[in-house]
Amino acid sequence: MAKLVAGIGSSHVPSIGRAYDQHKQTDPAWQPLFDGYEPVKRWLAEEVKADVVILVYNDHGTEFFLDRYPTFAMGVADSYQVADEGYGRRPLPDFRGNVEFSHHLANQLVADEFDLTLCQEMALDHGFLTAMPLLWNHTEDEWPVQVVPLLVNVIQHPMPTAMRCYKLGQALKRAIESWPDDLRVAIVGTGGLSHQLNGERFGYINEEWDQQWLDKIQSEPLSLANQTHKQVMEAAGAEGGEVIMWLVMRGAMADEVEEKHRFYYAPMTTGIAVLALENKE
């Protein structure tokens, strides 16, 4: 039986990828952020040792645009390319998929009444790419894990509710546990935290709300899942609403979880965080 061995919440910010590619890991402005991810990277490499990662993200007009943006989409391919978001492809290796496991998840989720767009090809943008090199080391040609990209529409209304995302995670848990073979699975929910990139509140960050989110997603996830889009966006900023993707990760985990590492950093226009969780035995 497959086992969920780690749940990670992580921001996805395009400038982080740019700094990573330009080797700014020791730059004074960037070092605290990169150092904040290192304990999670060690934990994943030395203890978790996942075989496959389900990474929940949203595309930013690279693979899908406003003329056709699915509510939920899942990759079922054997490989995924690194997207060119307009300034050249990032120097990262392409990703290995797991076709059989992806199709199993898709079949189980559809049977559980979650309708998915299934993608035989997907180019992955910073929504997916930001977290991967911060959490897993890679060679020039290969990642140590296979991936299942799971896209959520947090771009264009109508969007799935926070509760719908939480229930998607619960359905994923059932699907993972029904896989008959041994497989160590990690799930990463990306997005946020608080930020707004338009209008009168441009540059808005709510650090108090961010810290409450990091607390409550562990101990009171249903209190977050019951919030409306309006409530989340008023508190966390318009683009901060994408943080509901963390609830897919949390819904896939046990009712009680243990915090393995937590880091928060807010020197820019986004509240940036990584949270590593493990199911309590």
The catalytic residues are 126, 195
243 vs 47, 85, 104, 247, CA distance in Å? 27, 22, 27, 8
Distance, CA of 276 to CA of 246 (rounded, Å): 11
| Three-class secondary structure assignment of 23-64 | CCCCCCCCHHHHHHHHHHHHHHHHHHCCCEEEEEECCCCCCC
Q: Answer for the pair 278, 260: CB distance below 8 angstroms, yes or no.
A: yes
Among 268, 50, 220, residue whose Cα is nearest residue 146: 50
- Whether the CA torsion 128, 130, 133, 135 is positive or negative: it is negative
Q: Is 212 left (phi over 0), alpha (psi -120 to 50) or beta?
A: alpha
Distance, CA of 222 to CA of 255 (rounded, Å): 10
